[in-house]
């Protein structure tokens, strides 16, 4: 076993919420609440969400993009409290299903500030969007044009955008790159499908085309792909003006803003993104002789991700060959991202100091899959033992929202912390919950 020496208090907290503080017993407090106390009170696994961090990140986007419309991407993580916080902070909402839409609206989110996405919207999705009065629906395929027109009816009216594919490869993994012509989203500029769809929309008087939409991918940490997208979308807008005399008032660049999951990893510079995108948009529109459209952006991970912490209890520690495995009471059912994308986290022992000696440990889940690995070869105290508590930062996005019922272990609860208080937002999924859905025999 390779052993290194590192004092526990030297751990870097750069990827933790701003409210995180070190405690004398080797623990951490977030939002003024010791994480070990949260685990004792609510059990493990449990997700802890720092409300102040969420709100601060919403405000940072509004400050960086004062003239833009900022939509929180609900797919990153949504619950009633999250919808309430983002609405209070003045953000709109980007949803992908009738479920996300209804949860938000029944929480009190203004439907006119909601945009419905999706590459395969069901009849229920469209009917719910029209019934509740969403602000815009993003058309992703030609077949949606006729379906939506029929659902709206000859006397109805619905604002729409068209999702176009700008032909740009960007993102942290091939499975989350959505701006290229070889995947399921949007309509290609290169082959003319986007232009053809727009012409069809213009023939539907009940549909009002307000702008173009694109989404390049996820975990993008450099500004350049967004600048290329601006140039290509403005180029399309110029051609639409020449062909149809059409001036579109909105341009949606989507989200995908990358964050650091471990200390030292790169993250997208929000201030630089805002400054350079605005300049690029103004310059491209001036060259094309077009007015500058209102910019729309859709951050999700960058708001929710750094605000969340996952807490797990160690169930076993064993040595197999030259590796040490620490198995915890959660895993791929509450966080499938390592298995899907090979992502890496930086878990930390909390609740006791641990030894100064460190060793590489692979933190694995409890599920019957060899790929159920939460963190491979991470540095943890050499005396790690069953009963210890591990905290995983940057756990607020695309973990619980992508959770499953694998092995029927039940999904973890979500607890909000702020100003020294903790409160339950989403309760733990119980065996009774699982049984209630099983109606046959």
pLDDT value at position 356? 80
Contact 70, 303 (CB under 8 A): no
Contact 84, 110 (CB under 8 A): no
- Each domain of the chain, given as residue ranges in start order, spans 4-50+306-437, 51-302
Q: Is 51-302 in CATH node 3.20.20.70?
A: no
Contact 265, 305 (CB under 8 A): no
What is the spatial order of strands in the sheet that 33-34 belongs to?
21-22, 28-30, 33-34
**Which CATH number, 1.10.800.10, 2.40.37.10, 3.40.720.10, 3.40.50.300, labels domain 4-50+306-437?**
2.40.37.10
pLDDT value at position 353? 87
Task: Report the pLDDT averaged over residues 283-312.
Answer: 97
pLDDT value at position 185? 64
Give tens-digit pLDDT for 17-50. 999 999 988 899 999 999 999 999 999 999 999 9
pTM of the model: 0.93
Task: Report the pLDDT averaged over residues 221-231.
Answer: 93
The model's confidence at residue 171, banded by pLDDT at 50, 70 and 90, is low
Task: Report the pLDDT averaged over residues 216-240.
Answer: 93
Separation of alpha carbons 75 and 10, rounded Å? 35
Give tens-digit pLDDT for 383-413. 999 999 999 999 999 999 999 999 999 999 9
Pairing of strands 294-297, 69-73: parallel
For the cut 60, the answer to whether the pLDDT of residue 5 exceeds it is no
Q: Which residues contact 285 (CB under 8 A, 6 or more apart)?
A: 234, 291, 292, 293
Inter-helix orientation angle 142-152/123-132, to 10°:
50
Q: Which element (helix H / strand E) includes 282?
A: helix 270-288
Torsions phi, psi for 55 (to 5 deg): -65, -40
Active site residues: 368
The model's confidence at residue 173, banded by pLDDT at 50, 70 and 90, is very low
For the cut 50, the answer to whether the pLDDT of residue 10 exceeds it is no
């Amino acid at each position: 076993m390779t052993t290194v020496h590192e004092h526990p208090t030297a751990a870097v907290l750069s990827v933790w919420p701003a409210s995180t503080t070190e405690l004398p017993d080797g623990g951490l407090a977030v939002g003024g609440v010791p994480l070990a106390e949260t685990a004792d009170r609510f059990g493990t696994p449990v997700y802890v969400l720092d409300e102040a961090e969420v709100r601060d990140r919403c405000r940072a986007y509004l400050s960086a993009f004062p003239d833009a419309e900022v939509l929180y991407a609900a797919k990153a993580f949504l619950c009633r409290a999250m919808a309430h916080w983002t609405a209070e902070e003045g953000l709109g909402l980007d949803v992908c299903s009738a479920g996300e839409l209804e949860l938000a609206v029944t929480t009190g989110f203004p439907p006119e500030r909601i945009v419905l996405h999706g590459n395969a919207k069901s009849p229920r999705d469209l009917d719910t969007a029209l019934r509740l009065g969403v602000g815009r629906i993003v058309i992703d395929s030609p077949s949606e044009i006729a379906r939506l027109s029929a659902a709206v009816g000859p006397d109805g009216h619905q604002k729409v955008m068209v999702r176009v594919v700008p032909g740009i490869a960007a993102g942290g993994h091939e499975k989350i790159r959505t701006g290229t012509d070889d995947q399921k989203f949007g309509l290609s500029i290169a082959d003319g499908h986007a232009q053809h769809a727009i012409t069809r929309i213009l023939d539907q008087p009940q549909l009002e085309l307000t702008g173009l939409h694109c989404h390049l991918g996820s975990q993008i940490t450099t500004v350049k792909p967004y600048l290329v997208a601006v140039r290509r979308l403005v180029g399309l807008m110029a051609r639409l003006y020449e062909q149809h005399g059409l001036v579109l008032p909105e341009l949606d660049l989507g989200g995908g803003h990358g964050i650091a999951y471990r200390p030292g990893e790169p993250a997208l510079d929000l201030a630089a993104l805002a400054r350079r995108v605005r300049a690029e948009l103004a310059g491209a529109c001036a060259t094309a002789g077009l007015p500058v459209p209102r910019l729309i952006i859709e951050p999700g991970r960058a708001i929710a991700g750094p605000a969340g912490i996952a807490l797990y209890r160690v169930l076993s520690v064993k040595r197999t060959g030259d590796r040490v495995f620490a198995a915890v009471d959660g895993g791929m059912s509450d966080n499938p991202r390592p298995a899907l994308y090979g992502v890496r986290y930086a878990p930390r022992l909390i609740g006791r100091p641990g030894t100064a000696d460190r060793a590489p440990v692979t933190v694995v889940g409890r599920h019957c899959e060899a790929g159920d690995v939460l963190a491979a070869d991470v540095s943890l105290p050499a005396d790690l033992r069953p009963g210890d508590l591990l905290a995983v930062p940057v756990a607020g996005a695309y973990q619980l929202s992508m959770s499953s019922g694998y092995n029927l272990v039940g999904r973890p609860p979500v607890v909000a912390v702020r100003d020294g208080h903790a409160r339950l937002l989403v309760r733990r999924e119980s065996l009774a919950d699982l049984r209630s859905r099983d109606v046959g025999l």
